[in-house]
Chains A and B, each alone.
Chain A
Amino acid sequence: MPVKVVIPTPLRQYTGKREFVEIPARTVGEALSGLTSQYGDLRKHLFSDDGKLRSFVNVYVNDEDIRFLQKEQTPVAEKDVISIVPSIAGGMPLRCVCS
């Protein structure tokens, strides 16, 4: 049962410019591992060296954050859409509090 994975613009350079990739999968974990087997260069952007999903990668099934579902074990079915949404964060150097 293929599910659709939406690739965010900054990562499309690693999926041959594809906006969507269809992957046969029963869980989010299977979909992401299928995706990174097919497009190996994506792996370092999505997973840390120990194989965990990086903290700045958000994954949604339809409109639900998988952190509030069953994380990577979240089941998926045909017609579900998995979105990879990069966390957008930034800031300044921490201020020196010396006098």
Chain B
Amino acid sequence: MAIKLTPGHLDAIRRHAAREYPNECCGILLGRADGDSKEVLEAIPLKNLRADRETAQDILPLEDPGHESERNRFLIDPREQLRVEKDARARGLEVLGYFHSHPDHPARPSIYDREHAWPWYSYIIVSVERGEPKELTSWVLAADRSRFDPEPVEMMNPSGASRI
């Protein structure tokens, strides 16, 4: 399966990642999926709830809060996620996956990413080096949760009619 986005979506993801640097950013990808591809229609930035430490710790506790923070962890507020998901469903869209940034680190999934991943979703990672968004990759969890497999990122023009 491949994930298709417009240059506008990629730009929105990169700009959000740069704006949140040196913290990790996160967001949700909405669109439509058919048998062999996912077509993104909206890339929506969401708040990294890790910045709100007490609330985040109640929702998904960190093992080592002394070394883990919004600089190297992200968490999406489940309430916000539920709201966005319901709104998407009402508009005939579905959640295709999520994006987040790796500040001053390659766009490769970490063990923590894998341990917290769900099957089927696309996980887009954008690397941000000294505030500049760089490489962008997409990954899908293997069915047995043992690894992430790379997913091709295809660009489409804004009408979605053809690839560029």
A residues sitting closer than 8 Å to B (CB atoms) are 8-11, 13, 45, 55-56, 58, 60, 63, 65, 67, 83, 85-95
Please give the distance in Å from A28's CB to the nearest CB on chain B. Answer: 15
Known: A56-B116, A86-B118, A92-B105. A65 touches B79 (CB 8 A): yes
Q: Is B81 an interface residue (CB 8 A)?
A: yes
Within 8 A of A (CB), among B93-143: 94-95, 98, 100, 102-103, 105, 109-113, 116-121, 123
> A residues within 8 A CB of B24?
90-92
Distance of A62 Cα from B41 Cα, bound (Å): 27
SS class, residues of chain A in contact with chain B? mixed
Interface size class of B (residues with CB under 8 A): 35 or more
> B residues within 8 A CB of A90?
24, 26, 73-74, 100, 109-110, 112-113, 116-117, 123
B residues sitting closer than 8 Å to A (CB atoms) are 24, 26, 58-61, 64, 67-68, 72-76, 78-79, 81-82, 85, 94-95, 98, 100, 102-103, 105, 109-113, 116-121, 123
SS class, residues of chain B in contact with chain A? mixed
> B residues within 8 A CB of A63?
79, 82
Distance of A60 Cα from B58 Cα, bound (Å): 15
Please give the distance in Å from B57's CB to the nearest CB on chain A. Answer: 12
